Amino acid sequence: MARGQLRVYLGAAPGVGKTYAMLAEGQRRRSRGTDVVVALLESHGRQLTAAMAEGLELVPRRSMSYRGAAFTEMDVDAVLARHPQIALVDELAHTDVPGCRNRKRWQDVDELLDAGIDVITTLNIQHLESLSDVAKQVTGVEQHETLPDEVARRADQIELVDMTPEALRRRMVHGNVYPADRIEAALSHFFRPGNLTALRELALLWLADRVEEGLQRYRAEHGIAAPWETRERIVVGIVGERDDEAVIRRAARIAARTPGSDLLAVHVYCDDGLTADHAQTLDAQRALVASLGGSFQQVPGDDVADTLLRFAYAENATQMVLGASRRSRLLTLLAGKSTPTRLARRAEHIDVHLVSRDGSSRRESALAWLLAALRSRRGRAGRASAEAAALSRLAASVLGGRGDLPALLEEIREMFGLAAVSLLERRPDDAGPCVVASAGERPPEEPGADVELPVSETFTLAGRGRMLGADDTRVLSVCAVQVVAGITCRRQDEQDAHAAQHEADLRSRSALFAATSQQAREQLAAAQAALAGLADNGAAATPGDRAALVAAARRAVDRIGRLVTDLSDLSRLHAGALETYIRPVDLDDVVAAALDDLGPGGQRITLSTSGDLPDVIADAEFLTRILASLMADALHRSPADVAPVLTAVGLARHVEIRIADQGPVPQQGNDTDSLALRLARDLTEAMGDTLRCEETRSGGRTVILTLPTAVRRPPAPPPSISVVLAPKSADAL
């Protein structure tokens, strides 16, 4: 059975119309007689999106229960049993609820594809693993649901659903993306114009790279060696001499005249005695190329012209910039054609630019060439030195923890002039090798490539592009061993860190539950004592005494109930069952709600707040819970005759809330957070805010909560005319 086709609608942000486009394609296929079902749809309450799904068969979801909460997920078995021609599956990067057959939705989709079912799905650019950290830096929001890039790269079709930031923000204002009470916070945070522009650029650049991969694959499959000028790639050849800087700057000026072009500087090290070992000069030129926005690469080769041409064709270069030969006409006649001349004759479709060098050094270069035969041994040593330098840089990157694995493999690929490199790892279940990381176009996915180096019992380095000689194979083996050693050390460090964190969590949890159990026992003892007093005194007790005993028992039971609620909320929070709903919140309303939750005990809290506090950005329910927990904890710690104090002060862009008590300061080694403080801290972090504790000078503790203020937006300018590359019907969303 042939594997199904995967089509991905890619967007830069929520609300651009990915789900709408997916449903529109499903309707179009259904109208042509194709068997289409909706395997999973997340309409998020958007009416026009739901309307587009009308008439499409919907496969019922599977209901699940996790930690006392109800969830629904895609019923993979039901879809497989129904076996349509096409299944529409929304939100490819989604994480399934624990207990499902797979951890991620893309794994569910893989099962459908293996069964021969075509899948149409949706994805946001910020959910790709390689871009999640960049998206977090841009938006300030960490993406907990990510998708391996390789899953998206394997898609048969990727279509960008594009929309300008201005158009998307207009859709937000019209209520076509989020409910009215979420619009203000969304526009002032995630959906700021700068954020949307940066995410849009990420999506366009990532998709452009995928288009480039497809083009290179097509050229390779059809044996097309001549470069296609779809994108300017300028290769500058350098030899490690001081006046190469002029050649580099000339190439950079050529690249600057064509926006979007690439500048690649390459140095070929060989053993013909003509290339001296100028490590310091090359390092300076590497820095110069980087400052000009280019990349610097070193590749081995015995013939400079052949190596440069092979590199240029592998990179689909359109232009080459070289320094003019320093040899005199006599030396050129004696030695044959110079490297620039040979390149110019053989470059075919690649334009070759020759840059004049400083004439004052011609006599020196001629003398250097005449002495080349005497320096042949030194030339071989130069190559060995260059290899050692490359290995040193690689080892420093591995042992120092700098750079990720694909970047290290890319350096190896460039060093040996290979088209692609993969590090393969044998799976424990003997299900075949898996690609740990790769670099280059169409990297090998299994043994049998041009280069195959077993590194250990489980790791193999595979390369494609050319066969390597004995010397290159030896050096490559050393590089591979260093990379695998770095992976092993990194994995061990991660395991050690995870084990240490797990042990710390267990200690913290054990101490927290011990302290909570002690509080529960104290309250239970208080309730039992009050009930025993009622039973012993009976009718002899005065009405006032009976009322006091009943009130004491009720307070103790209420505190036990609050402990149970806090434990339940803390467990749900750590399980990811509590979702934040961030929006502008009136702080006075939240404080009043928190005092109501405290009941009669809230009357002992002293409030010190100004009347003109701005709204804060928070989850109202979370913030109420935080303040109620902190005030209850402060009341529990404070003496009966000293009331805790809540102070709220508006700063430039934040509101600072302080809750101070006169309770005992924890002794060193016994500073375990109370359950209420632990819950408040975790809820605060879930909102992206900060909470810290300080000891007061007079004894006691002050808990400080910092919240961002809601900034009022200026009146929006008149809408500008823009072109929106999105489905026609999606423009009305």
* 3-state secondary structure (DSSP) of residue 254: helix
Buried b (16+ CB within 10 A) or exposed e, 85-109: ebbbbbbbbbebbeebebebbbebb
User: Position 340: which residue type?
Assistant: P
* 3-state secondary structure (DSSP) of residue 514: helix
- In whole angstroms, what is the distance from residue 41 CA to residue 630 CA? 40
- Predicted TM-score (pTM) of the model is 0.40
- Average pLDDT score over residue span 89-116: 93
* Domain 233-389 -> CATH class: alpha beta
Q: Which pLDDT band, with edges at 50, 70 and 90, does 732 fall under?
A: very low
Give the dihedral sign, CA 278/281/287/293: negative
* Domain 500-573 belongs in CATH node 3.40.50.300: no
The predicted-structure confidence for 54-67, as pLDDT tens digits, reads as follows 999 999 999 988 87
* DSSP β-ladder status, 36-40 and 654-661: unpaired
Number of neighbours of residue 125 by Cβ within 10 angstroms = 24
Q: Which residue has the higher pLDDT, 252 or 371?
A: 252
Q: Are 6-223 and 233-389 the same fold in CATH?
A: yes
* 3-state secondary structure (DSSP) of residue 227: coil
- In whole angstroms, what is the distance from residue 264 CA to residue 494 CA? 35
726: phi > 0 → left, psi -120 to 50 → alpha, else beta; which?
beta
Short-list 235, 208, 212, 209, CA closest to 313: 235
The predicted-structure confidence for 335-363, as pLDDT tens digits, reads as follows 445 566 677 666 667 888 888 765 444 44
Topology adopted by domain 6-223: Rossmann fold (3.40.50)
Q: How far apart are the first and last CA of the chain?
A: 39
- In whole angstroms, what is the distance from residue 330 CA to residue 510 CA? 86
Number of neighbours of residue 637 by Cβ within 10 angstroms = 16
- Selected from 3.30.565.10, 3.40.50.880, 3.40.50.300, 3.40.50.1820, the CATH number assigned to the domain covering 583-708 reads 3.30.565.10
The predicted-structure confidence for 500-520, as pLDDT tens digits, reads as follows 777 766 666 666 666 667 767
Query: Which range, of 122-131, 165-174, 219-228, 663-672, averages the lowest pLDDT?
Result: 663-672
- In whole angstroms, what is the distance from residue 157 CA to residue 148 CA? 17
User: Position 198: which residue type?
Assistant: A
- Average pLDDT score over residue span 1-28: 92
C-alpha dihedral over 356, 357, 358, 359, to 10 degrees? -70
- In whole angstroms, what is the distance from residue 150 CA to residue 158 CA? 13
Q: Which pLDDT band, with edges at 50, 70 and 90, does 369 fall under?
A: very low
Rounded to whole angstroms, what are the CA distances from 465 to 197, 218, 314? Answer: 38, 16, 9
Total count of residues recorded for the chain: 733
Domain positions in the chain are: 6-223, 233-389, 500-573, 583-708
* DSSP β-ladder status, 583-585 and 616-618: antiparallel
pLDDT value at position 270? 63
pLDDT at 634 over 70: yes
